[in-house]
Amino acid sequence: GQQVMQIPQYQHVQEGEDFTTYCNSSTTLSNIQWYKQRPGGHPVFLIQLVKSGEVKKQKRLTFQFGEAKKNSSLHITATQTTDVGTYFCGSNTGNQFYFGTGTSLTVIP
Amino acid sequence: DGGITQSPKYLFRKEGQNVTLSCEQNLNHDAMYWYRQDPGQGLRLIYYSQIVNDFQKGDIAEGYSVSREKKESFPLTVTSAQKNPTAFYLCASRRRGRTDTQYFGPGTRLTVL
């Protein structure tokens, strides 16, 4: 299946520090989506990016889609304890949907 | 209140028994998916269905079976042939449109003793 790699696998930050997770694909993606899964919960859709070089913001979260549409990043400014969870990128190819391996974020108060 | 329901939240079974996990949605979505998640791991696709009475294998279908007799329902059976069935199982449906989104149920945590 399509490979969507995500780094880092784990990240611990002090509250107030910034956080970034990166998503990379060996093939061109038609779109990229980001999901957040709280501990013990299920993934929840955050955003979708479609255009080359697209940047979208949601409050302290900034999402980017690379120019070649092969990579994407999620940046959180000034993390808060409510940001704790695992962040997944994903993309659909036809009828299937492929998720990245996820980045687990721990925020230390 | 629209959404996806999975039951039960926690399930315990003895080794060698088949077990069926339910997934129901009232979002009127055509496509439905089953994923498996292991501790600290990503989501791996087991089966998916684009329409009633049709389904396809995902990356890790061995030891699992599904049916799609109704649009609203997509049950997953974990058979005794699945070598390592203990995991968190997530069902999702897909909304197509300007934003192609996956909506997830709350998940079922299966433990095989």
Asked if the model's pLDDT at residue A1 lies above 80, the reply is: no
pLDDT value for A94 = 76
pLDDT value for A76 = 98
pLDDT value for B29 = 92
Average pLDDT over residues A84-104: 89
The helix (run of H) or strand (run of E) holding residue A34 is strand A32-37
Subunit contact A9:B50, Cβ cutoff 8 A = no
Chain A: residue whose CA lies nearest to B90: A42
Asked if the model's pLDDT at residue A69 lies above 70, the reply is: yes
Bridge partner residues of A47 (DSSP): A34
pLDDT value for B68 = 97
| Mean pLDDT, contiguous 10-residue spans, chain B (113 residues) | 86 92 95 91 91 94 97 96 93 82 94 91
DSSP labels for A55-101?
Answer: EEEETTEEEEE-TTSSEEEEEESS--GGG-EEEEEEEEETTEEEE--
pLDDT value for A57 = 97
Which has more pLDDT, A79 or B81?
Answer: A79
3-class DSSP state for residue A31? coil
Mutate to test the interface with A, among B23, B43, B46 (most CBs of A within 10 A): B43
Residue reference for tokens 């599904």: B66
Residue B64 to residue B76: CA distance in whole angstroms: 7
Residue B27 to residue B68: CA distance in whole angstroms: 16
Q: What does the mean pLDDT of chain A come to?
A: 94
Q: Tell me the pairing of strands B43-51 and B54-57.
A: antiparallel
Q: Chain A interface residues facing chain B, Cβ-Cβ under 8 Å?
A: 1, 6, 9, 31, 33, 35, 41-45, 48, 88, 90, 92, 95-102, 104
Percent of chain A with pLDDT over 90: 83
The C-alpha angle A69, A70, A75, rounded to 5 degrees, equals: 85
Give the nearest partner residue to B42 out of A33, A45, A88, using CB atoms. Answer: A88
Q: Where are the beta strands (DSSP E) in chain B?
A: 4-7, 10-13, 19-25, 31-37, 43-51, 54-57, 64-66, 76-78, 87-95, 101-104, 108-112
Mutate to test the interface with A, among B35, B93, B104, B109 (most CBs of A within 10 A): B104
Residue A29 to residue A61: CA distance in whole angstroms: 21
Average pLDDT over residues A74-87: 98
The pLDDT tens digits for A3-61 are 788 999 999 999 999 999 999 998 999 999 999 999 989 999 999 999 999 999 999 99
